[in-house]
Amino acid sequence: MAEDPGAPAAAPPPDDDRPIRDEDGHLSADFVDAVHAAVEAGDRPRVVALAGDLHAADTAALLEALPAELRSDFAKLLGDDFDFAALTEVDESVRVQLVEDLPADTVAEGVAELDSDDAVYILEDLDDDDREKILAEMPVVDRIALKRSLDYPEESAGRRMRSEFIAVPQFWNVGQTIDHLREAHELPDDFNEVFVVDPAFKLLGTVPLSQLLRSQRLRPMVELMTETRHVVHATENQEEAARRFERYNLISAPVLDEEDRLVGVLTIDDVVDVIQEEVDEDIKRLAGVGDEDLSDTVLTSSRSRLPWLVVNSFTAILAASVIGLFDGTIAQMVALAALMPIVASMGGNTGTQAMTVTVRAIATRELGRRNTWRIIRREAAVGFLNGLVVAALVGAAAGWWFADIDLGVVIAVALVVNMLVAGLAGVLVPLTLNRFKVDPAVASAVFVTTVTDIIGFSAFLGLATWWFGLL
């Protein structure tokens, strides 16, 4: 069922001139339509001929392109040619729906052929009952290994580790190790290092595969091994583990349990997935979007986005109430109403820029006590400097547009004040939320926008009221 991950996508059948990919490198519409028609017709030979040899990532793209009601039919028609590794590449909603639609024994058979980290990734989002049904159909050894990984907390290194690895006793030599690698059947398909452990399975060190193959057979493994400086604990947050990979340029790292016994290995391909997930999560939260995928239904997407829109509606009312305090000023000078969106927009954009940099710095642990005040001063200075430039441009344009130099001066001063405050808010709001253990990526945008709107409207309309003596 599994295929060589480096294998190229299959060429179209000889009697079919439909290209598999379009000019952008995506699966072509004609190819997807051909598979769609074959699945609807229940034509297994045709489905296998078209999609049986696709790379797992291309199969995943095809699954997402097919209508939801045909995805399980597609997998069933492929049968043994369906690579369950494709489920690690699709959106969560697609993966869960497909696994639930397929028979438990079919899923168990397909998942059992995957590396343990991929198997856990597929099973972890299922309901407990569905997961147990699938695990019950698996061999005992596989079931125990997967359950152990699934028992670790969500978003922990234990959930991402691969439990297949090479570990040898400290008293072995190079020749014994190489013979073991040649003769043992239950070994991972790919590995680049051998771990040396004591009788309690505690890690003593590692031997790179390249060094092992260049050493004399009688040389003891303990002489070749190097002490492992960078280990990951199974309960450690996956983001922290990924950050260690980034900091020390790691390719893999041993995973230890609570008693410092070797239980798995975390590899760079898993870390890349973690980094992508975390970045995706942060970007969505900055926009007030929950755990949403492109394949989600309208109702699911609506539920994901609505909560912060409701919160934003109340903060918008608060900002509007500030405008209400100056209704007399606006009534006497209608030009102010035309210029207010400029003040709000420039303040909001300035605050968003500072907030984005700050939230990212907090997430990557680049912002701490040692440099907090420096960043605050920097963002305030950037906001002030940009405010001067924008104020000069907008002030001149407003003065020419309404033939009123005083009005240009008023909006220019208001912009400088608002963009200075926006720069400060973009830093201080995320820092304050983080101090109170609130995820700054989730809540910062609403509060920063509220601050910039209130300050911008107050500065502009208040200054206009004083400058023109309208009240």
The CATH code of the domain that includes 410 is 1.10.357.20
Same domain? 231 vs 125: no
Residue 353 within any structural domain of the chain: yes
Distances (CA, A) of 413 to 331, 407, 449, 460: 21, 10, 20, 8
The pLDDT of residue 12: 44
Same domain? 438 vs 318: yes
The pLDDT of residue 275: 85
pLDDT tens, position by position, 98-155: 999 999 999 999 999 999 999 999 999 899 999 999 999 998 988 998 999 999 999 9
The pLDDT of residue 85: 93
Of 286, 309, 342, the position where a domain reaches its end is 286
User: Helix, strand, or coil here: 267?
Assistant: strand
Domain that holds residue 130: 29-155
Residue 336 within any structural domain of the chain: yes
Of 102, 120, 155, the position where a domain reaches its end is 155
Residue 213 within any structural domain of the chain: yes
The CATH code of the domain that includes 252 is 3.10.580.10
The pLDDT of residue 93: 87
Same domain? 313 vs 224: no
The pLDDT of residue 24: 73
Per the structure, how many domains does the chain have? 3
Asked if 305 contacts 295 with a C-beta cutoff of 8 angstroms, the reply is no
Strands 262-267 and 252-256: antiparallel
Q: What is the DSSP string of 13-72?
A: PTT----SB-TTSSBPHHHHHHHHHHHHTT-HHHHHHHHTT--HHHHHHHHHHS-HHHHH
Of 129, 155, 181, the position where a domain reaches its end is 155
Residues of the chain with pLDDT under 70: 1-18, 286-296, 470-471
The CATH code of the domain that includes 117 is 1.25.60
Of 48, 38, 233, whose CA–CA distance to 153 is shortest? 233
The pLDDT of residue 86: 94
The pLDDT of residue 18: 57
The pLDDT of residue 369: 81
Residue 11 within any structural domain of the chain: no
> SS3 string of 307-363?
HHHHHHHHHHHHHHHHHHCCHHHHHHCCHHHHHHHHHHHHHHHHHHHHHHHHHHHHH
Same domain? 35 vs 147: yes
Of 74, 72, 57, 48, whose CA–CA distance to 9 is shortest? 57
The pLDDT of residue 452: 93
